[in-house]
Amino acid sequence: MSKLFNLHTHNYTNQEKILELVNQYPWEFDEKIPFYSIGIHPWYINEDRLSFDLQVIEQKLAIKNCLALGECGLDKRIEIPLETQKKVFKAQILLAEKYQKPLVLHCVAAFQEIIQIKKELNITVPMIIHGFSKNEPTAKQLLDNGFYLSFGKYLVRNPELKTVFQSVPNDRFFLETDTIEESLEEVYALAAKYKNIEIEEVKLIIQTNFSKVFLRNL
């Protein structure tokens, strides 16, 4: 893969030089998007529609162009009960395991719960925390438990994240734009600056990580 890889975006830009993992939802799926993840975000859990949503996710996971399940996860700062969130999250994990697709995770104030679920369900597929914004001890705990971390919005907006990003081994990070206006090239440039390496080296690092996580069963 000679392209830049965007681990998570809500904006499909169709640029030839970028492979975008576009976030899709089962209830508003766009067939025109070539590569995507699909999942039920904890904010949008609708129990009346749950079986339909899981059915659509399973259909799409069977397709090669569906690279991951997500974003899914847990969020303690919303009104949907955590037990409901866990039920929906675990149902999606089982599908990711069945089709051996990585998980792109949304996690707010629930890192211990996600680590516990990973251990409890003995999850074998790669799990990537997207939009990581926390401190070094949290990063280390996630890395020690086998997670990957993806950086984007907060790396650009919060200079204090510099040392956290520098502490992450090169074989365990991805880069993304999510919903920010800054370009993926800008995120790559900042990552190169923080790691004190050339952008070309960042590209190679991400390409290697992409192959390991997303192409391991092809």
Residue 6, strand partner residues = 20
Q: 155 by DSSP, 3-state: which?
A: helix
Sheet with 148-151: strands ordered across: 4-9, 18-24, 36-38, 66-75, 103-108, 127-129, 148-151, 173-175
- 41 annotated as a binding-site residue: no
Give the C-alpha distances (Å, rounded to integers) separating 80 from 45, 88, 180: 8, 11, 26
- 178 annotated as a binding-site residue: yes
- 30 annotated as a binding-site residue: no
- 130 annotated as a binding-site residue: yes
Enumerate residues 6+ apart whose C-beta is below 8 A from 49: 27
Residue 83 corresponds to which amino acid? E
The torsion defined by the Cα of 7, 28, 215 and 20, in degrees rounded to 10, comes to -40
Residues contributing to the annotated binding site for a divalent metal cation:
71, 106, 130, 178
Residues contributing to the annotated binding site:
71, 106, 130, 178
